[in-house]
């Protein structure tokens, strides 16, 4: 067994069952004019993790380990968008409205695409999800089983919403989950810190956390 130096204790892993899941690094969340900006957020906070996330992805690719990407988006007819989600808050544009990058968070529109700096390569799976978590309404679970994955490293945005939700879903399904702390971010830095503390509390009640450097050191070893 290889080991990643992590909190709250070391994360032992079998490279044959380890994969990277990169959550929602999409233009709609990461670029001006997207859904994140319509909610009044500063997207530069999220963009700060692009270099580190790129390093993490490159490390998994170099090790020959799977990289799976997710995108939050909805059908053009909005049949998978419940009113409770659509009507939440007071954004300047709602999901489905026309925006600078096409209709907000709609499958097939430019804003849904993963940012160019982290674009998937041939053979990498992209999961389109209608909810916060990657398991809901998708074939994510089947993909993990088909690839024989049992241990997952997580990166992406936002830490306290889609990333943490998917980690909790994974934990409930028996997967070991580790968060790459410098390859995830929130529009609210205090929320990121709180999410990491919740994930690792009580002996890793949800999972582990480690820096990209520690993760790549273990892969390279």
Instruction: Give per-residue pLDDT as tens, 43-99.
Output: 999 999 999 999 999 999 999 999 999 999 999 999 999 999 999 888 888 999 999
pLDDT the model gives residue 177: 98
Q: Report the relative pairing of strands 125-129 and 208-210 from DSSP bridges.
A: unpaired
**pLDDT reported for residue 151:** 98
Positions annotated as catalytic residues are 24, 129, 162
Neighbours of 79 (CB within 10 A): 9
Is residue 212 predicted with pLDDT exceeding 90? yes
Q: What's this model's pTM, rounded to 2 decimal places?
A: 0.97
3-state secondary structure string across the chain: CEEECCECCCEEECHHHEEEEEECCEHHHHCCCCHHHHCCCCCHHHHCCHHHHHHHHHHHHHCCCCEEEEEECECCCCCCCCHHHHCCCCCCCCCCCEEECEECCECCCHHHCECHHHCCCCCCEEEEECCCCCCCCCCHHHHHHHHCCCEEEEEEECHHHHHHHHHHHHHHCCCEEEEEEEEEECCCHHHHHHHHHHHHHHHHCCCEEECHHHHHHHHHC
What is the Cα gyration radius of the chain? 17
Position 30 confidence tier, pLDDT thresholds 50, 70, 90: very high
pLDDT tens digits, residue range 153-175? 999 999 999 999 999 999 999 99
pLDDT single digits (tens) 94-118: 999 999 999 999 999 999 999 999 9
Largest alpha-carbon pair distance within the chain? 50
Which pLDDT value is given to residue 92?
84
């Amino acid at each position: 067994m290889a080991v990643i130096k992590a909190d709250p204790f070391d994360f032992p892993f079998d490279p044959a069952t380890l994969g990277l899941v990169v959550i929602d690094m999409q233009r709609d969340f990461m670029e001006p004019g997207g859904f994140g900006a319509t909610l009044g957020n500063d997207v530069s906070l999220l963009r700060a993790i692009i270099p580190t996330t790129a390093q993490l992805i490159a490390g998994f690719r170099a090790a020959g380990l799977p990289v799976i990407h997710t995108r939050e988006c909805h059908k053009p007819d909005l049949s998978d968008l419940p009113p409770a989600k659509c009507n939440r808050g007071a954004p300047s544009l709602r999901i489905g409205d026309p925006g600078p990058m096409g209709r907000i968070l709609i499958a097939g529109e430019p804003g849904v695409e993963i940012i160019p700096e982290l674009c998937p390569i041939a053979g990498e799976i992209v999961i389109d999800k209608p909810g916060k978590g990657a398991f809901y309404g998708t074939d994510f679970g089947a993909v993990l089983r088909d690839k024989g994955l049992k241990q997952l490293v997580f990166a992406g945005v936002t830490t306290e919403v889609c990333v943490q939700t998917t980690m909790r879903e994974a934990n409930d399904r028996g997967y070991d989950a580790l968060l790459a702390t410098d390859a995830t971010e929130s529009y609210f830095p205090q929320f990121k810190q709180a999410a990491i503390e919740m994930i690792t509390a009580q002996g890793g009640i949800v999972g582990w956390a480690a820096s990209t450097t520690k993760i790549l050191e273990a892969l390279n070893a």
